[in-house]
Structure 1
């Protein structure tokens, strides 16, 4: 990893370093996902009931007009808590597993690490996301219930968790874990790997080395790379995102995950897996770019190098 133009205040790959990256992930993911809750609300409702709104903007207008301004942020609490936990596991875990795989599989050899860097990025991001989703899943289940149930399923995230747990047991909070993994793991693999390679390409085309650039210049590269990576990962993970919403909303407790998926797919078909793609590309592109902006700004602020070569 290239040295930052700022003096480091933390030593790389220590407990303090991973703690800082974990905190950076919380700051990057919790607030950004929360800000786009209105878009996520419309997207989830359209996935469950296509044609409910004429467009994303008309959907927000309809909710504002018919349900009140506060209802446009339905699911905010579950979103903030769930994605803060997920961000902690995703970013902090990615930094840990990237170093772990580089040290073990590549034995710390710089040439081997460079040659196999894409594989390291893919493995590290997949492992980190697998763990992060275990923390996210209960809150994602509550969020989808809140956003797709009329009348409202619950008044707040804690009431929602308690209601699901008491009526259906803890398994109900994790009934969407498999489609969540199917959505989030490919998403994160593309998000982190494409970001690393895009940023690497941008730096290779610039007239100066990364080590010679200011923190602001480096963060600008992170923002650009993040948006391009966001477009790619939104497209790759969208079919699974639709299934997560459908399964959390429609799966019967007596159904296996496979049976529920087959039934839902039989009802919506292949084209139904792409409902809401346009808004998701816009939402995830914006989310991803700002997450990398916030995460790398935080790293630069505390004296760590920004992500990427």
Structure 2
């Protein structure tokens, strides 16, 4: 009893708690996206140059290495790691925050009865702010991958875009498609994750009774299912994002998006889906596993859960 009271007394709350959620999310997203930079390079090349990279993911790796050397597979690592660390902090920390706000407002019973809607709304709001932080770095990454001679890395690429094209056209021309990609992706990711985790826990037993390894396994399995679903839902917008960031272009963002979608067609919008499923499924699984483990290591385990009152 005394131990339980001591644990409760020292449990982080307020900004102390949510900063730990944000740190865990930053590490989970930054590490996973950074590690999969080579896959993202090949996927982006398939989307942008389908006539050249048209033999699948494995052949794409060989083509890039043969043409540019193995180092080309790490093109865009700087903006990838930095951008997705920021995004992960806003996304995972934001989901926890907005979930609590919604549950406090409608009550735990209504939250349980409408838990899918709660997951969707909290993750959608969180992702909006996460995308604001991510967009400039994602624009820089895509420019580096699509135009290898554009700059030598994050700082030089970022400053060149800022100098030549400005904030709006240079960094936020892809904000529309990044929202179209990331918001449905994140909403699908968290909704499917939560329901997949519930399904698995109904089989293996309540979360509180699981060992640390088993808990990580549940996070991995649920995250993999969520990642596959999210990749499929967000693929068309991911293709448009790659295309629109390849060059500065002319005309309004909406007209450019419409023209690109019409030019590509349904089949073209799903170019690179196989590599993206492999990438997103893997990174989402490890994101949730890393996030869960780091939360435990930081003592940030007292998040609000949606359970039957």
CA contact (8 A) 1:13 1:96 kept: no
Aligned length: 298
Structural mapping, 1:21-170, within 5 Å: 21-53=21-53, 54-104=55-105, 106=106, 109-149=107-147, 151-170=148-167
Q: Give the whole-Å Cα distance in 2 for the aligned partners of 1:271 and 1:233.
A: 18
The separation in 1 between residues aligned to 2:173 and 2:52, in whole angstroms, is: 26
Aligned match of 1:262: 258
The normalised TM-score by structure 2 is 0.92
- For the 8 Å contact 2:43–2:272, the answer to whether it is kept is yes
Task: Tell me the distance in 2 between the aligned counterparts of 1:267 and 1:195.
Answer: 34
1:75-116 Cα distance to aligned partner (Å, 9 max, x none)? 111101100100110011111011011112x1xx32112111
Segments of 5+ residues of structure 2 without an aligned counterpart are: none
Q: Is 1:288–2:284 an aligned residue pair?
A: yes
Question: TM-score with structure 1 length normalisation?
Answer: 0.92
Number of the residue aligned with 1:211: 208
Q: Distance in 2 between matches of 1:225 and 1:306?
A: 20
Aligned-pair distance for 1:255? 1.0
Task: Answer yes or no: is the 8 Å Cα contact 2:20–2:300 preserved in 1.
Answer: no
Change in 2 beyond 3 A, CA 1:52/1:37 = same
What stretches of structure 1 of length at least 5 have no aligned partner? none
Deviation for aligned residue 1:301: 2.0
Give distance in 2, aligned partners of 1:124 and 1:231: 21
Change (3 A) 1:198 1:13: farther
CA distance change for structure 1 residues 300 and 284 in 2, over 3 Å: closer, same or farther? Answer: same
- The secondary structure found in structure 2 opposite 1:255 is coil
Q: Which of 247, 272, 276 is the aligned partner of 2:268?
A: 272
Instruction: Kindly state the Cα deviation for residue 12 of structure 1 after the two structures are TM-superposed.
Output: 5.9
Pairwise CA distance, 1:205: 2.3
Per-residue displacement from partner, 1:210-254 (whole Å, max 9, x unpaired)? 2122222112111110000000000000000000001111451x3
Query: 2 CA distance for matches of 1:57 and 1:219?
Result: 30
